[in-house]
Structure 1
Amino acid sequence: MTTRPAPAPETGASAPGDLGLSGVFEAESRFLSRDGRFNSRRVGLGLGAYNPYTMLLAMSWPRFFAVALALYLLLNALFAAGYFALGAGALSQQPDQAGPRLLGAFFFSVQTFGTIGFGHVYPVSVAADVLVTLEAFVGLMAVALVTGMLFARFSRPTHRILFSDHAVVAPYRGGRGLMLRLVNGRRGDLTDITAEVVLSLRAPGPLSAGPQRQFHPLTLERSRVTFFPLAWTVVHPIDDRSPLRDLSEAELARREAEVLVVLRAVDEISQQPVQARISYHASEIRWGQAFASMYVRDGGLLAVDARRLHDMHPAPLPEGS
């Protein structure tokens, strides 16, 4: 069974012992991948689980443009097939051969869809006029939808919070501290940054169940910063109250430790919230290392060199710590 951690000092609220995971992750080596995605998926939800709007909003820009182009070509191909099915007399100046006539119908559809209208090809039957009217309506709706989607994608708040490749256990105030470092990778600013760090460990459980996961919220030296113009080293002091107090590097590896990090902030320009996640497996925690300074002078002003985000140097831990 998982334990229920003590109330967090900052909020006084009690965090669920299993973070809402209900113990089903027992066989997994880690919960989050390095890019912050959960190492799980939901299946069997049916077609109702697919929302075209959120899918188009979340996909990458190259994939979005590829989908938009594919839909554009598909719609024009469908209307071209309609013009072709109306016969050679539906449009003016149509060749007799089927292939060139189908190709001409496709490019006539492109002109109609985009309201270009070169004028050398035009409908000459009522059925063709009706199909042109329908295509003009579909084209207006398609342009409006794509424009709205482009606006939504550009206005959606995104972040580029850069995390250090490794967490470190380094000397801290005469003892030790678990540290990770992050920097804002965008030119825009973030405000009201809060960090939440949880330690996941395997612990002995019932013989029938085997080792069980336990989750321990880690108290931070500072869990919130108002402004984030430079870099932030998130520190958990390993003191007498820390779950890491009696754990060594080998013990963390044996218990498959994972440090889960959630960062929440407000984008200063859009005033909308953003969130970033990452995790550090026991193998990604460096003991006896400390982060090197990132601060430089640029044109006489204090600056952070993001290229030094992952730089470390040896820092022997205090004896007996």
Structure 2
Amino acid sequence: MSTKREEQIIDTYYTSIHTLHRRNVNEGRWLRYMQKDGSFLVSFRKCPGDWSPYLLDIFTTLIEIRWRIMFLVFSLSYILSWIFFSLLYWLIAYINGDTQSVDNNPCMDNVRGFTEAFLFSMETQATIGYGYRGMTENCIGAIIVFTIHDVFSCLLDTIVIGIVVAKMASARKRAQTVGFSSYAVVNLRNGDLCLSWRLGDFRGNHILEGSIRAHVVRYVKQREGSVVMLYQELDLENPHVVLAVPTTIIHKLKPGSPLYRMAPDDLQEENFELVVCFTYTEDSTGMLHQTRTSYTPADIRWGQRFQDILKVGKRHYKVDYALFNETTWVSVPMLCAEAYERERRHPNEDNSRLPPVTENENIYWATIDCPEEPLLLMRFKASVREE
């Protein structure tokens, strides 16, 4: 670099120009592993007509299907059961001769045809009991069918109510009120480069305890055409949190981190995905829930921090969720964590890993106070727009 370095201070706190270059949307696109709402973009292919795994676990299947399909299944289960038992009642009445004569001793009062048998079946299963049709003691077979029908109706009602309650109390509904920030940020914390994102609970019945895990996910295409998924877990400074108020999850960019050698410019050329999961027990129901989200390199903002949303009042702690996703610029070296650590140890030594300076870029040196060292020189790179 032949450009003469100028020792001056650059303040990016009020800067509105992002110096990171985004990749062209038409070039080098990759498929997301997880969407922002926590759903995985994975489809399963099975042999046509193989429904045995779903039928063996019919309870879970009915909980996971859509509401409109579930209502259709439950409606058909009642209607088909009414039709089935009405056929049995009509067959008993036909064998006993109730459909041909009104002078014999009927098995069921006022059941002379299929329509009356259907109404009798529906009144029996729904326990309506209008008093116009009823069972007599003349046919033991009709009494046995009536008993089976009564037990089956209680069993069907129990299954329907249980599935509806379980579906309404699904973990996905509670997960919608526990949210991650839309972006992750990289800034300095105690003199170290750290990656952080925000986590908050939007309901009044707060979560008392939960655990957080984060993975860097990449897919690698082999020469044979196969795809291999690679997972690298991140070490978090606060994996267990009490979510009474929003908290910031911090990952220190240190040796061993998959992001340790990644500079801001390199960040936009990567195809990894940061998948974060928050597993917790809700205090109202005692059920285990999980909230997930993911961050792509485009969702990571280098040189920014989250705005303060927690204030101390006279009687309460006040949280302003309007600022939950808001970030602001801070002075951060535009270097990877490895190069930054090297410059901290040897501030006057040239760093061979620094990106070269182009014609539309300038290098700035900023003087800041650091707890570990009385004087620290940090190098910044800022883009200059041509008017």
Establish whether TM, by shorter chain, passes 0.5: yes
How much has 1:75 moved relative to structure 2?
1.6
How much has 1:118 moved relative to structure 2?
0.8
Q: Which of these two proteins has the greater Rg computed from alpha carbons?
A: 2
Compared with structure 1, are the counterparts of its residues 73 and 295 closer, same or farther at alpha carbon in structure 2 (3 Å cutoff)?
A: farther
Indicate the residue corresponding to 1:132 in structure 2: 146
Ranges in structure 2 where 5+ consecutive residues have no aligned partner: 1-28, 100-106, 341-387
- Partner-residue secondary structure (3-state), 2:42: coil
How much has 1:56 moved relative to structure 2?
3.0
| Counterpart Cα distance in 1 of 2:72 and 2:224 | 51
Indicate the residue corresponding to 1:5 in structure 2: none
Q: Is the 8 A contact 2:218 2:273 kept in 1?
A: yes
Ranges in structure 1 where 5+ consecutive residues have no aligned partner: 1-26
| Counterpart Cα distance in 1 of 2:313 and 2:121 | 56
| Counterpart Cα distance in 2 of 1:270 and 1:206 | 46
Compared with structure 1, are the counterparts of its residues 214 and 94 closer, same or farther at alpha carbon in structure 2 (3 Å cutoff)?
A: closer
How much has 1:58 moved relative to structure 2?
4.0
Give the aligned length: 288
| Counterpart Cα distance in 1 of 2:324 and 2:194 | 18
1:1-321 aligned at under 5 Å gives the runs 29-44=31-46, 46-50=50-54, 51-59=57-65, 64-84=70-90, 86-87=93-94, 89=99, 92-93=109-110, 102=115, 104-123=116-135, 126=139, 128-149=142-163, 159-160=174-175, 161-201=178-218, 214-225=230-241, 227-295=242-310, 300-320=315-335, 321=340
Normalised to the residue count of structure 2, the TM-score between the two structures is: 0.61
Q: Aligned letter for 2:160?
A: V
- Partner-residue secondary structure (3-state), 1:261: strand
How much has 1:120 moved relative to structure 2?
1.1
How much has 1:201 moved relative to structure 2?
4.2
- Partner-residue secondary structure (3-state), 1:254: coil
Q: Is the 8 A contact 1:202 1:213 kept in 2?
A: yes
| Counterpart Cα distance in 2 of 1:258 and 1:292 | 24
Aligned residues with identical type, % of pairs:
22
How much has 1:259 moved relative to structure 2?
0.3
| Counterpart Cα distance in 1 of 2:284 and 2:79 | 37
| Counterpart Cα distance in 1 of 2:181 and 2:307 | 11
- Partner-residue secondary structure (3-state), 1:183: strand
1:247-297 CA-partner distances (Å, limit 9, x unpaired): 234433433110011222233345454333222122322333322233257
Q: Is the 8 A contact 1:83 1:105 kept in 2?
A: yes
Compared with structure 1, are the counterparts of its residues 247 and 142 closer, same or farther at alpha carbon in structure 2 (3 Å cutoff)?
A: same
Give the aligned CA root-mean-square deviation in angstroms. 3.7
Compared with structure 1, are the counterparts of its residues 292 and 72 closer, same or farther at alpha carbon in structure 2 (3 Å cutoff)?
A: farther
Compared with structure 1, are the counterparts of its residues 132 and 210 closer, same or farther at alpha carbon in structure 2 (3 Å cutoff)?
A: closer
How much has 1:231 moved relative to structure 2?
0.8
| Counterpart Cα distance in 2 of 1:149 and 1:171 | 49
1:95-132 CA-partner distances (Å, limit 9, x unpaired): 87xxxx53x54333221002221111235773654443
How much has 1:94 moved relative to structure 2?
6.0
| Counterpart Cα distance in 2 of 1:144 and 1:188 | 29
